[in-house]
Structure 1
Amino acid sequence: MWLKKTDVVCITGGASGLGAELAREFSSRGCAVAVIDIIRPALADLVPTVRYLSADVRDLDAMTACAGTIADELGTVTVLINNAAVRRPWTPILYEDVADMQCVLDVNLMGVLLTTKLFLTGMTLRERGTIVFVSSALSMQSPAGLATYGASKAGLVGIYESITGEFSANEHIKTLLVCPGQLDTEMFGDITTPSRLIAPVVNKTALAKRIVLRVEKGGEGFLYTPFYVHFLPVMRIVPYTISRRLRKLSGMDDVHPGQRTRDYT
């Protein structure tokens, strides 16, 4: 097994949702775990053995201070989970607030770049590290009304690809890209998937176990779930008329009851 009890795990956005489940799973394996989040965990999500730190991933000074605290108290971070993300209201681009757009891009992209840069130094010096990028199925096919969020998750794939390329000759640094469909978390609790049969909601606890198992075994590459996510890249290589028809059949552009995708008056 690649993962050892001496490993130090840092999870951004780990106070709730998938991040909280990841903190619980890594902690149960005996690793030292630190969570960096702008919010404090609810009592149900609190893991007694986890070190919680408060910071905004967009704030370089605050994140640098957190990195220093983790190094002093727990040691060098050898597993980084880039999980922190935000989503703003489901809104057609003509109505989307610019401040909301900037927030999503700053947290979901710049936050990942800053965090990765901060912790990579220690990993390279120690010659041991795994970086997990939690993206989304929406990085491959983004529904109407969610342009900024979809763009941020697509950008995260680009970050993963570039960093993987940088360390392709270094067997000590591993990278893993996670692209789940809709999770049973608060972020997308306001929508219903078009088909629970084809696109079932992903259980956050089950996904956390799968991610930790991949890290535990030293796994790299991609983790797509549920099964339909594996076929989303095909939508970009088939003729446009087919791709457009598939989008319509999927119902992905009409999943949110409050969106006004065709009302531009």
Structure 2
Amino acid sequence: MGVGYSCCQSNAIGPALDERFSGKRVVITGATSGIGLRLAKRLAASGAEVVGWGRNEDAMEDVHREASEKGWSLRMMRCDVSSREEIQERAAEVLAAFEGAVDILVNNAGVTSGGKWITDLSDEEINRCVDVNLLAHFWTVRAFLPSMIKRDSGHVVTVSSVAGIMGVAGLSDYCASKFGAFGLTESLRFELSKINSAVGTTIVCPSYVDNGMGKEAEVKCSALFPLMDEEYVVRRIMGAVARRQALVILPGTIRTTYLARMYPVSVYDRIVRTWANV
């Protein structure tokens, strides 16, 4: 199983790429807003059969209306991914609808406690962050991976974060959960390699996206940590799946931070503090 790394921006993604997703059966968590919603629509417009999980029922109604108008195969299902039982129930429904097989699983759902110091976080906030951002990945992968392995085909996408490769002050729960999601998927990649499986994995580590928390972030060096729009991130995710890239760090300038871990901690800390508010 090939392992690729992409850390550079590219616009070489267009209609030809969209065609590669036609007929694919896709499950996306956190699909009622942000990157998840935009990815669900883009894939559906490409001819994929998409099931999106989320909790915002008003948004779901809007999506169903748009999908009906445009003739998309896009169904939204209410699922709180902090609940293992709810994931198992929805997964069973999806597998029944897709005749037992999902081609692409995108673990995108994520929450944050809003930049609190570790001593200010409540037990409930910590549990919620870990349940949604990390443990949910275990339950979804365990639900959908066996059929992928059996067919020797499929792809698991993990939307981690730059905060999954770099600690940030005030985001201890978020960083811990995103580091965990990164480690889970990397371990899965090696497990699949050991059995010579053709099932692929992709870890996506975006920096600040022009929505939600990203808009409010204070960054020292905006040239290295620019705000990216959602459509760009969606194109990069689709490109990574199509090219079977194992790791995508967005934007490419962040790669320097990733590589800086080779240096002593004191040097690494100095580099990161120079660039970002960590």
Aligned positions of 1:57-136 closer than 5 A:
57-75=81-99, 76-136=101-161
Q: Does 1:243 align with 2:268?
A: yes
TM-score using structure 2 length: 0.84
Q: Which residue of 1 aligns with 2:4?
A: none
> Distance between the aligned counterparts of 1:221 and 1:239, measured in 2?
26
Letter in 2 for 1:11: I
> Which of 215, 229, 232 in structure 2 is aligned with 1:203?
229
Q: Secondary structure at the match of 1:35?
A: strand
Q: Does 1:147 align with 2:172?
A: yes
> Distance between the aligned counterparts of 2:26 and 2:88, measured in 1?
16
Identity of aligned residues (%): 25
User: Could you report, residue by residue, the CA deviation over 1:119-142 in whole angstroms, capped at 9, with x for unpaired residues?
Assistant: 112212222110001001111212
Q: Which residue of 1 aligns with 2:49?
A: 32
User: Could you report, residue by residue, the CA deviation over 1:28-59 in whole angstroms, capped at 9, with x for unpaired residues?
Assistant: 21010000112232777665131000011132
Aligned positions of 1:170-249 closer than 5 A:
170-217=196-243, 219-249=244-274
TM-score using structure 1 length: 0.88
Sort the Cα spacing of 1:8 and 1:252 in 2 relative to 1 into closer, same or farther, 3 A.
same
When structure 1 is superposed on structure 2, of 126-135 and 55-64 the one drifting more is 55-64
**CA apart distance, 1:93:** 1.4
Sort the Cα spacing of 1:128 and 1:3 in 2 relative to 1 into closer, same or farther, 3 A.
farther
> Distance between the aligned counterparts of 1:42 and 1:73, measured in 2?
18
**CA apart distance, 1:238:** 1.2
Structure with the larger helix share: 2
CA RMSD, aligned part only?
Answer: 2.0
Sort the Cα spacing of 1:97 and 1:188 in 2 relative to 1 into closer, same or farther, 3 A.
farther
Asked if 2 retains the 8 angstrom alpha-carbon contact of 1:88 and 1:100, the reply is: yes
> Distance between the aligned counterparts of 1:231 and 1:103, measured in 2?
31
Q: Does 1:19 align with 2:36?
A: yes
> Distance between the aligned counterparts of 2:41 and 2:32, measured in 1?
11
Structure 1 segments unaligned to the other structure (5+ residues)? 254-265
Q: Which residue of 2 aligns with 1:161?
A: 186
**CA apart distance, 1:187:** 3.5
When structure 1 is superposed on structure 2, of 20-29 and 9-18 the one drifting more is 20-29
When structure 1 is superposed on structure 2, of 20-29 and 56-65 the one drifting more is 56-65
Asked if 1 retains the 8 angstrom alpha-carbon contact of 2:155 and 2:241, the reply is: yes
> Distance between the aligned counterparts of 1:199 and 1:30, measured in 2?
33
Aligned positions of 1:248-263 closer than 5 A:
248-253=273-278
Letter in 1 for 2:226: P
Asked if 2 retains the 8 angstrom alpha-carbon contact of 1:16 and 1:45, the reply is: no
Structure 2 segments unaligned to the other structure (5+ residues)? 1-16
> Distance between the aligned counterparts of 1:53 and 1:222, measured in 2?
29
User: Could you report, residue by residue, the CA deviation over 1:93-131 in whole angstroms, capped at 9, with x for unpaired residues?
Assistant: 122212111110111110111111101122122221100
**CA apart distance, 1:229:** 1.8
